[in-house]
Amino acid sequence: MGVQKKEKTRRAKESKNDGAGNKFGNIKVKGENFYHDAKKAKRMKMYKQDASVLQSKEIPTARIDPNRRWFNNSRVISQDALEYFRNAVQTTQSNTYNVILKRNKLPMSLLEEKSNDVVNNGQLSSKAVVELESFENTFGPKSQRKKQAKVHTSFNELIASSNDDIDKFQDQQALSTTLGLMNTTDTDGWTQAAKDAIFSKGQSKRIWNELYKVIDSSDVVIQVLDARDPMGTRCEKIEQFMKTDTPHKHMIFVLNKCDLVPTWVAAAWVKYLSKSYPTLAFHASIKNSFGKGSLIQLLRQFKKLKADKPQISVGFIGYPNVGKSSVINCLKSKKVANVAPIPGETKVWQYVALLKSIFLIDCPGVVPPSKSDSDADILFRGAVRVENVSNPEQYIDIILEKVKRNYLERTYEISGWNDYVEFLEMIAKKKGKLLKGGEANLPGVAKQVINDFNRGKIPWFVPPPQDEKKEGEKSGKEQGDEPEQKEEEKNEEEWKGIQD
């Protein structure tokens, strides 16, 4: 029934006409009202018009006529004006207390002069590689250059350099045959392998990775220095890295442990270090701090410079045991980072929120490798744990040279020693550190003396630069003080300030 009904309805529709006997009245024929809406008609008209334009052979005209006024926004300055502006930018950059805002809007490629040293030690500089050789021969898939070729201006220089290379190779070969490379000993009788195992702390790849993480994620980097030896705990390698790779980031020097040195020494070091970076004197203490307000105010000023960011990060870097975590605890007025008087307490970086818009990042201590630093220098800077040092009594003689005799007499209440062995024996007898048979425990006493030296119980400091010292001497001579009396009064003031 359903099929018959549908068929009947279909036939009824076909038989429908328009009243004029036309059975095909329901079928639409192309004409005036074939397209019901104007939108479709307009679109079809556009297709026809575009097709006619594309098929035509006429040359199309430009939408914008070439006119000189479209190039008025480009400016050209003279060479003198560029040189003047370049000098102004260099003087601003050399001043540690000036900051260039909106650095991205300056043509730094024109302002920064390229180095003229194309050849450095007989080799091409890395900046001049692409300038002298094509990209394809240097970095492309058809590169033929495996190594920087030596550049010589004359044939005689080539002969001299080749002879030097031959001499160096022969010397190394002679050393390797006469002495074993693994058994070479230094002047003090210790093997190089044993030295590296003890005094290579803070130089591992993991710690350097942590350091670069902190630098990459920080807007301001604070390098914490020990006020007793600022130049010894200064990482110049990191400073050079930041100048070349991250010039947009700011660095600050914080001279920590200024309570362990006289006031005039801290002031002289602050004046000297301010020539390189902004420097603040600081005493990290939760209850009785110094320099905390100045540092927080300085960080707020840097936050205003970075107004485009919702918050800034401040990273703390430096040698082990200089007080990076102590400075963070002092700024927070509570213990948020673990601190200890031994190096290596901080093992990974950690974030600490100082304010809503300022975050602090603690970093493990890093010891940059340096050929000029001896084992004693690394030990006295607190980079090595004294408990792991074998035969520590060999370093006591250096302590006796650095520290004044009257300071040691007041600290340990002994006097009349001739060498470091007698000095250790007197301390052992006074404190009862004896072995079987009444012999003095020299290694144990030596470790205690080194710990007292590193932790500030023995007063010592590296004198400030010579020019600052001369200025102090000139001012003393103008006041009419006698040299001996002035020196005694200075020692007394130093001792009182350190004891307080």
pLDDT at 160 exceeding the cut of 90: no
pLDDT in tens, 423-479: 998 898 888 888 887 888 888 888 889 988 888 889 889 998 876 445 555 544 444
pLDDT in tens, 217-253: 999 999 999 999 999 899 888 998 888 888 888 899 9
Residue 225 DSSP SS3: strand
Cβ-Cβ contacts under 8 Å for 354 (sequence gap 6 or more):
296, 299, 314, 331, 332, 360
Confidence band for 171, pLDDT divided at 50, 70 and 90: confident
Q: Give me the helices (H) in 274-355, please.
A: 292-305, 324-332
In eight-state DSSP terms, residue 364 is: -
pLDDT at 338: 79
Mean pLDDT over residues 338-346, rounded?
A: 77
Residues paired with residue 352 on neighbouring β-strands, in sequence order: 360
pLDDT at 386: 83
pLDDT at 12 exceeding the cut of 80: no
What is the Cα–Cα distance from 239 to 260, expressed in whole angstroms? 26
pLDDT at 152 exceeding the cut of 80: no
> Quick one: the chain helix, strand, coil %, rounded to 5?
50, 10, 40
In eight-state DSSP terms, residue 127 is: G
Question: Residues of CATH 3.40.50.300 domain(s) within the chain?
Answer: 205-362
Mean pLDDT (the chain, rounded) = 76
pLDDT in tens, 301-332: 988 888 888 899 999 999 888 888 899 999 98
Whole-model pTM: value is 0.65
Mean pLDDT over residues 399-412, rounded?
A: 89
Instruction: State what percent of residues in the chain have pLDDT above 90.
Output: 13
Angle at 406 between CA 405 and CA 412, to 5 degrees: 90
What is the Cα–Cα distance from 110 to 116, expressed in whole angstroms? 15
Phi, psi of 119 (to 5 degrees): -115, 125
How buried is 188 (Cβ within 10 angstroms: 0-12 exposed, 13-18 middle, 19+ buried)? exposed
Task: Name which of 192-196, 275-279, 288-292, 333-337 the model is least confident about.
Answer: 192-196
Specify the residue for token string 């190394």: 172
Cβ neighbours around 104 below 10 Å, total: 6
What is the Cα–Cα distance from 277 to 205, expressed in whole angstroms? 28
pLDDT in tens, 362-396: 988 888 877 677 778 888 887 788 887 888 888 88
pLDDT at 130 exceeding the cut of 90: no
How buried is 102 (Cβ within 10 angstroms: 0-12 exposed, 13-18 middle, 19+ buried)? exposed
Specify the residue for token string 């930041």: 242
For 205-362, which CATH class? alpha beta
Cβ neighbours around 142 below 10 Å, total: 7
pLDDT in tens, 98-108: 877 777 777 77
Instruction: State what percent of residues in the chain have pLDDT above 70.
Output: 67
What is the Cα–Cα distance from 460 to 453, expressed in whole angstroms? 8
Positive/negative CA dihedral, 194, 197, 200, 204: positive
pLDDT at 2: 62
What single letter denotes the amino acid at residue 286?
I
Displacement of CA 104 from its chain's centroid (Å): 21
pLDDT at 185: 46
Residues paired with residue 290 on neighbouring β-strands, in sequence order: 283
